[in-house]
């Protein structure tokens, strides 16, 4: 392998299922080395992970990068959003982290919205109407169900904050990830003391919000990691904000990310405040905004349907009037936290491949339904929809998005965009550049553009009709009447 042309940086993506690390040449954007290690997630009453395994996975992924990681001059960590990490006085987890897709706090979310002014007030104040995914609702759930854990908690962190703090010894976060908590005000860009008081959370337990371009700290000790003591550590950010950096995203360009969850978002210069709660008014990692809609059920749910049918995930067949709503983990968009999957319109001649295609259609329908709310006046209606995430490489996902959106679709060739965005953030510390400009210099969004096809309005209308007619049934808690 040729020698790097500039300093090396490390970008990390600590996601729901695994940690990925990239060593990147700051001059060219070339990935010099990479590594990946898996996590485990509980599948019982909720969705939880022990944060210590994220740290172990980080060490394993960096170890796979070899000598290149030892030469890195800066590091940044992107991580899954919303997760509630509670630490004791020694910095050890009090209990497993409550993850973004743990929906047990749905009752607390409803109560918080009602008690603090309703959806419109929340949207204006915090930028988002909190659902069961948001950290503030998880803390409220913990206070109600595990008060002893709350009493033992001396620090509250998000997943990327936890890893950054173990590197630096300092409690920090960034505006992008903080904006997904529900206790950070997008209007004042500070923690909201009234919301914190309502859920009984002392602001002193929260991390300092680091500004874009500011050094969060330096590596305090190697702790078995291949970094030199004193290596610069950037603020890091949430996974969607990191992916936006990784694409070098300009305002108004739409993105659809197909992973464990599905998201649609775009950078905007206007602070979002959607009172319907469909669009989360997140901040980005720079100084703009990242209006975003998220579904809980995307590639994992569709793969589960394929497995139940005994099919390869690409074995779809056209020509179906079946509707399949793959809400296997509850759902966030639409806001049906207790939802289960629903199959409607099954007939004798329906094939397994058609059922699988219906699962793809149901997953994409939810995302496209929110896309129009995400985009604002900055949006270019002719701009290709950037398709990213693990599902973006699948032909069935690509063709379903094209058919149901009617838009051109671009598939960036760069992989691991969250880790690349973190790497661009780390590079910005060294060069003084805007991280998004770094990514554009690296040409990370380059890739083939698939021409638009005629939009399948019949399928969109059918799914919308079934969802409207069956929402009381779909959204019911399993076992209730």
DSSP 257-276: EESSSEEEE--BSS----TT
Q: Report how far residue 131's alpha carbon sits from residue 335's, in angstroms, rounded to the nearest whole number.
A: 8
| Separation of alpha carbons 250 and 84, rounded Å | 30
Q: At residue 264, what are phi and psi to the nearest 5 degrees?
A: -125, 135
Nearest to 424 by CA among 74, 59, 2, 178: 74
Instruction: Measure CA 155 to chain center.
Output: 23
Q: How far apart are CA 40 and CA 184, in angstroms?
A: 29
DSSP for 61-88? HHHHTTHHHHTEEEEEEEE-SS-BEEE-
Active site residue 239: yes
Percent helix, strand and coil across the chain, each rounded to 5? 35, 20, 45
Phi, psi of 325 (to 5 degrees): -95, 105
Q: Which token pair is 228? A: 């030199």
| Cβ neighbourhood burial of 64 (10 Å; 0-12, 13-18, 19+) | middle
Biggest CA pair distance of the chain = 67
* Active-site annotation holder among 174, 177, 239, 284: 239
- DSSP per-residue letters across 29-49: --EEEEEEEE-----SSS-EE
Residues designated as active site: 239
């Amino acid at each position: 392998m040729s020698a790097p042309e500039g300093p090396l940086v490390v970008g990390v993506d600590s996601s729901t299922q695994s940690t990925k690390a990239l060593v990147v040449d700051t001059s060219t954007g070339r990935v010099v080395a990479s590594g990946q290690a898996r996590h485990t997630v509980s599948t019982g009453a909720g969705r939880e992970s022990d944060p210590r395994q994220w740290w172990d996975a980080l060490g394993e992924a960096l170890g796979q990068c070899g000598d290149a990681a030892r030469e890195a001059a800066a590091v940044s960590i992107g991580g899954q959003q919303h997760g509630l990490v509670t630490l004791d006085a020694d910095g050890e987890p009090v209990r497993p982290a409550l993850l973004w897709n743990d929906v047990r706090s749905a009752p607390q979310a409803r109560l918080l919205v009602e008690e603090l002014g309703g959806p419109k007030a929340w949207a204006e104040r915090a930028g988002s109407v909190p659902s069961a995914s948001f950290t503030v609702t998880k803390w409220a759930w913990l206070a109600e169900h595990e008060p002893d854990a709350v009493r033992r908690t001396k620090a509250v962190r998000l997943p990327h904050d936890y890893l950054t703090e173990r590197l630096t010894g300092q409690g920090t976060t960034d505006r992008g990830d903080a904006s997904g908590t529900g206790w950070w005000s997008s209007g004042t860009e500070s923690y909201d003391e009234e919301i914190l008081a309502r859920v009984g959370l002392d602001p002193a337990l929260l991390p300092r919000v680091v500004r874009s371009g500011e050094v969060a700290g330096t590596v305090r000790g190697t702790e078995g990691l291949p970094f030199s003591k004193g290596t610069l550590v950037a603020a890091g950010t949430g996974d969607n904000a990191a992916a936006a950096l990784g694409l070098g995203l300009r305002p108004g360009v739409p993105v659809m990310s197909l992973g464990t969850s599905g998201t649609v978002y775009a950078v905007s210069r206007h602070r979002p405040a959607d009172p319907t709660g469909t669009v989360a008014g997140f901040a980005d990692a720079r100084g703009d905004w990242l209006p975003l809609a998220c579904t809980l059920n995307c590639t994992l749910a569709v793969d589960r349907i394929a497995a139940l049918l005994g099919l390869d995930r690409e074995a779809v067949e056209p020509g179906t009037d079946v509707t399949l709503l793959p809400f296997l983990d509850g759902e966030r968009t639409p806001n049906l936290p207790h939802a289960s999957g629903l199959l409607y319109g099954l007939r004798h001649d329906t094939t397994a491949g058609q059922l699988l295609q219906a699962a793809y259609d149901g997953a994409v329908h939810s995302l496209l339904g929110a896309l129009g709310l995400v985009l604002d006046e900055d949006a270019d209606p002719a701009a290709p929809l950037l398709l990213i995430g693990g599902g973006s490489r699948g032909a069935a996902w690509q063709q379903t998005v094209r058919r149901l959106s009617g838009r051109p679709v671009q598939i960036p060739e760069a992989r691991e965009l969250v880790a690349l965005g973190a790497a661009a953030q780390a590079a910005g510390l060294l060069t003084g550049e805007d991280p998004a400009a770094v990514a554009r210099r690296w040409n990370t969004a380059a890739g083939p553009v698939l021409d638009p096809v005629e939009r399948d309005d019949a399928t969109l209308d059918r799914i919308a009709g079934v969802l409207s007619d069956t929402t009381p049934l779909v959204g019911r808690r399993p076992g209730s009447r």
